[in-house]
Amino acid sequence: MTETGHQQPKVEANILVLGAENVGKSALTVRFLTRRFIGEYVGTESIYTHNVTVDGRETSFSIWDSVCPQNPNAQNCITEDQLRWADGFILVYSICERDSFSVVRQQLHRIRQMKKRHGPVPVIIVGNKRDLQHHREITSEEGRMLALSSDCGFFEISAAETYHGSLVVFHQLLEAVRENRSSVKKNSGIKGIVRSMSAVFSRRRTE
Ligand SMILES: Nc1nc2c(ncn2[C@@H]2O[C@H](COP(=O)(O)OP(=O)(O)OP(=O)(O)O)[C@@H](O)[C@H]2O)c(=O)[nH]1
């Protein structure tokens, strides 16, 4: 409810979870949805709907847990349809697998190319399997630097160990999606005013 007693409209967010095979995309998603870590997940593509209250507002997440085909050309893991559908992206790698970090880098590049055509879109990079420190191949700094250099959020988590990490990832992305929407709306408002003013002035010049 707002101060004036009006019900705030429901927030809807389409989130696409990407990354190489076996990095924990399903584990992260299922953790957020159920608070539980099951251990083994069916490797099929799924879209889940999850209705929750976030910061006092009704929110409906649609979460697309994608599957990256074996031996992929990583960039082609993402289709145009997926890119159009998503309001925000979670790119997952395993801190124990250098190749999965490269996949995230390539997928990020593809998303940023699309951004040129479709406008900005929030991305959060997630280094998963933080509990497996003894197998670590990617330092936290590498993950953080990639995120900083490409204007993304960054978290290292263990979907196996805690629920909190997955919660923070989805909530931060939701906040970024909401901010992105309001800045797009604001910009299109200003652009609209500029466009109509230039139409008026060009008409005057020709009168
Ligand atoms: N130790 C550890 N294992 C994890 C973690 N997250 C996931 N796993 C394990 O990693 C394996 C793959 O997890 P999934 O969630 O199926 O990974 P995925 O990226 O969805 O895999 P695909 O569906 O094949 O693309 C499973 O055996 C999980 O139990 C984690 O944080 N720590």
Pick the atom of ligand 1 nearest to 132's CA. Answer: 1
What is the percent of the chain where pLDDT is above 90? 63
Predicted confidence (pLDDT) at residue 7 exceeds the cutoff of 60? yes
- Burial of residue 205 (number of CB atoms within 10 Å: 0-12, 13-18, 19+): exposed
- For 16-42, the pLDDT digits (tens) are 999 999 999 999 999 999 999 988 888
Pick the atom of ligand 1 nearest to 158's CA. Answer: 31
Q: Which of 120, 129, 133, 138 is nearest to 166 (CA)?
A: 129
The reply to whether ligand 1 has any atom less than 6 angstroms from the CB of 23 is yes
Predicted confidence (pLDDT) at residue 76 exceeds the cutoff of 70? no
- Identify the residue whose C-alpha is closest to ligand 1 atom 14: 24
The reply to whether ligand 1 has any atom less than 6 angstroms from the CB of 160 is yes
The reply to whether ligand 1 has any atom less than 6 angstroms from the CB of 41 is yes
Instruction: Could you list the beta-strand ranges (E) of the chain.
Output: 11-19, 46-54, 57-65, 88-94, 123-128, 153-156
- For 162-205, the pLDDT digits (tens) are 999 999 999 999 999 999 988 876 666 555 555 555 655 555 55
- For 150-164, the pLDDT digits (tens) are 999 999 999 999 999
Mean pLDDT of 67-83: 74
Mode of pairing for the β-strands spanning 57-65 and 46-54: antiparallel
Sketch out the chain's domains with CATH numbers: 11-178 (3.40.50.300)
The reply to whether ligand 1 has any atom less than 6 angstroms from the CB of 31 is no
ipTM: 0.99
Q: What is the pLDDT of residue 202?
A: 56
Model confidence pTM above 0.90: no
- Identify the residue whose C-alpha is closest to ligand 1 atom 2: 129
Predicted confidence (pLDDT) at residue 9 exceeds the cutoff of 60? yes
The side-by-side arrangement of strands in the sheet containing 153-156 is: 46-54, 57-65, 11-19, 88-94, 123-128, 153-156
Distance between Cα 1 and ligand 1 center (Å):
39
